């Protein structure tokens, strides 16, 4: 009898705990688009926070071989979303969301240390824009077989200086090659011209200069937030990234 009562008590406590922690589903879907040299697993901490807060979150796994292929991958995720979409892009993912964001299902764009191109621009053209000499450029190796990689000896300090070195050492070894076609393809229509944009500037970024980030954010008319972080802000400060996305989502009507 004592055992049965104890079991019932544990079940009741568990049910109450689950009921307390379960949040109503938010009326916005969030689609996360990663950038070059990495895969979508870098979003895990941000994904966990957002899903725990009741959001439907869809993850795009970009091949990063061609821009058209990555836009198509994002479009498939957008089509699966149950609600109006906020489309979020990190780094090269900003190129993807600028084109894919023209879908009528996308209500707003959120750029995280990302390229925010205009029509006719590519990563290649944006990377040639002048930047202050004190802001380093991405330490890319010469192209090989049509792909780019970050110099693995400089990956940690350039891409993720504020992330656990053990993790960045593995990330450097496990880089996903970035196709030159993706780098050179120009945007045809910039979604930020007709939709609200938000931009998270990473002020300690050594991949995309902070000055360039601010310039693109201003041109896009984006609501801008700055955070003292490396390029890999979703790894080093996932709570800040999730809060930024939630603020942007809150503005969707």
Q: What is the pLDDT of residues 78-97, one digit of tens each?
A: 999 999 999 999 999 999 99
129 close to 161: Cβ distance less than 8 angstroms:
no
Tokens describing residue 220: 């896009």
pLDDT recorded at residue 7: 43
Task: Name the residue among 114, 116, 96 with its Cα closest to residue 106.
Answer: 96
237 close to 229: Cβ distance less than 8 angstroms:
yes
pLDDT recorded at residue 16: 45
DSSP state of 192: G
pLDDT recorded at residue 4: 44
Tokens describing residue 12: 């009741």
Residue with tokens 């191109």: 117
Q: Give the pairing type, strands 147-148 and 178-179.
A: antiparallel
pLDDT recorded at residue 91: 98
Alpha-carbon gap, residue 115 to 65, rounded angstroms? 17
Look up the CATH architecture of domain 25-250.
3-Layer(aba) Sandwich (3.40)
Contacts of 14 (CB under 8 A, 6+ apart): none
217 close to 176: Cβ distance less than 8 angstroms:
no
Mean pLDDT of 54-61: 98
Query: Residue 218: is its pLDDT beyond 80?
Result: yes
What pTM was estimated for this model as a whole?
Answer: 0.90
5 close to 35: Cβ distance less than 8 angstroms:
no
98 close to 120: Cβ distance less than 8 angstroms:
no
pLDDT recorded at residue 66: 98
Q: What is the pLDDT of residues 15-25, one digit of tens each?
A: 444 433 457 88
Query: Residue 65: is its pLDDT beyond 80?
Result: yes
pLDDT recorded at residue 133: 85
Output the DSSP codes for 8-72: HHHHHHHHHHHHHH--PPPS-EEEEE--TBS-GGGGHHHHHHHHHTT-EEEEE----S-HHHHHH
19-33, 46-60, 152-166, 179-193, range with the lowest pLDDT: 19-33
- 12: pLDDT confidence band, cut at 50, 70 and 90? very low
Tell me the domain boundaries of the chain: 25-250
Q: In what order do the strands lie in the sheet with 197-202?
A: 56-60, 29-33, 85-90, 106-112, 197-202, 223-227
Task: Name the residue among 67, 192, 207 with its Cα closest to residue 137.
Answer: 207
Alpha-carbon gap, residue 36 to 48, rounded angstroms? 22
Count of C-beta atoms within a 10 Å radius of residue 157: 14
Count of C-beta atoms within a 10 Å radius of residue 149: 18
- 9: pLDDT confidence band, cut at 50, 70 and 90? very low
Q: How far apart, in Å, are the Cα atoms of 224 and each of 112, 197, 241?
A: 10, 9, 13
């Amino acid at each position: 009898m004592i055992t049965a009562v104890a079991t019932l008590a544990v079940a009741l406590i568990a049910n109450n705990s689950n009921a307390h922690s379960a949040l109503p589903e938010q009326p916005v879907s969030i689609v996360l688009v990663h950038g070059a040299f990495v895969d979508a697993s870098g979003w895990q901490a941000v994904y966990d926070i957002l899903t725990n807060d009741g959001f439907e979150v869809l993850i795009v796994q970009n091949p990063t071989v061609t821009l058209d292929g990555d836009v198509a991958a994002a479009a498939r995720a957008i089509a699966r979303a149950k609600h109006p979409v906020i489309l979020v892009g990190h780094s090269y993912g900003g190129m993807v969301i600028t084109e894919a964001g023209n879908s009528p299902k996308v209500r707003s764009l959120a750029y995280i240390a990302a390229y925010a191109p205009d029509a006719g621009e590519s990563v290649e053209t944006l990377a040639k824009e002048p930047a202050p000499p004190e802001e380093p450029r991405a330490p890319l190796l010469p192209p090989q077989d049509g792909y780019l990689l970050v110099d693995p000896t400089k990956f940690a300090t350039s891409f993720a200086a504020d992330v656990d070195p053990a993790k960045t050492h593995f990330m450097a070894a496990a880089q996903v090659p970035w196709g030159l076609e993706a780098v050179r393809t120009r945007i045809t229509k910039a979604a930020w011209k007709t939709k609200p944009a938000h931009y998270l500037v990473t002020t300690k970024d050594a991949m995309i200069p902070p000055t360039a980030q601010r310039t693109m954010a201003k041109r896009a008319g984006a609501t801008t937030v700055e955070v003292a972080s490396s390029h890999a802000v979703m790894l080093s400060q996932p709570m800040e990234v999730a809060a930024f996305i939630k603020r942007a989502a809150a503005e969707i009507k």
